Structures are given as C-alpha cells and as structure tokens.
Amino acid sequence: MQDEYFWIVQYPDGHTISQLQSDGTEIAFSKEYEQSPFIFVWMPVKEHKPIVSVSIEGEKRLIYFRRRIGQLHLSTGRHEIIRTIYACGWQQTVEGRNVKSINWVDPHTNKVHNGDEIYIK
C-alpha cells in the first residue's frame, strides 16, 4: 500500500524540507530538522484531501507518526495493510506535567480528528 501523505517541514524564512525529493527519492525525518520554530505538515499526495499540521515553538517537542491498520487472514496467514492514519502534534512538560495535543487524519474518511486516543472503526 502506497502512502497517501508525505511530510514537509517549513521554517519562518520560507525554507522547506520535504520527505519527497525532486529526484523522486524519499528521505527519513531527522531530529536535525527540529530547529524551533518550525511547522510540520502531513501533505496529501492527491488533491482534495485535508492537510494536517502543527506549529512547534519554544519548549514544545514534535510528535508525528503513521499508524498502519492491518488485517490478518487466518485462512492464509497473510497480513494485509488496509488503512494508514497520519498524526502530528506536540508534547511539553509544564510544571512537571505532560501536556500534549495530537491531530490526525484518516484518508479513508477524509476527516481530521483531535485527541490523544485514536480509534479506528
């Protein structure tokens, strides 16, 4: 299953770094890209899909991930990826407490959700 989203990091001066390079190759995200402030964006490969982004500044730390939802076929023992969700958000320790905000998109429904818990039906 091909990914439906790719990440982009954008800095205040307009400079961007993209997972998809101009020559068609892909690069992995690296902690060195986390130069505060910046914006992390999950960008859809196809048009008419929602964009999910998070602004990171100050003491906030980036949270981002893809969660692949699979199905195991018991008759064949084959595992199949049926959906992928894309999430991004931030985490910060405030007065000793873990505070976070996470947004995620389900390309299957084209809906953007907010919350720590991710439930897929």
Residue 120 in domain:
no
Residue 121 in domain:
no
Residue 106 in domain:
yes
Residue 80 in domain:
yes
Residue 30 in domain:
yes
Predicted TM-score (pTM) of the model is 0.84
Per-residue pLDDT tens, the chain, 121 aa: give them: 578 999 999 999 999 999 999 898 999 998 888 888 999 999 999 889 999 999 999 999 999 999 888 888 888 888 888 889 999 999 999 999 999 999 999 998 898 988 755 555 5
Residue 85 pairs in a beta bridge with 67
Residue 53 in domain:
yes
Q: How many domains does the chain have?
A: 1
Residue 52 in domain:
yes
Number of Cβ atoms within 10 Å of the Cβ of 78: 9
Q: Which domain holds residue 44?
A: 5-114
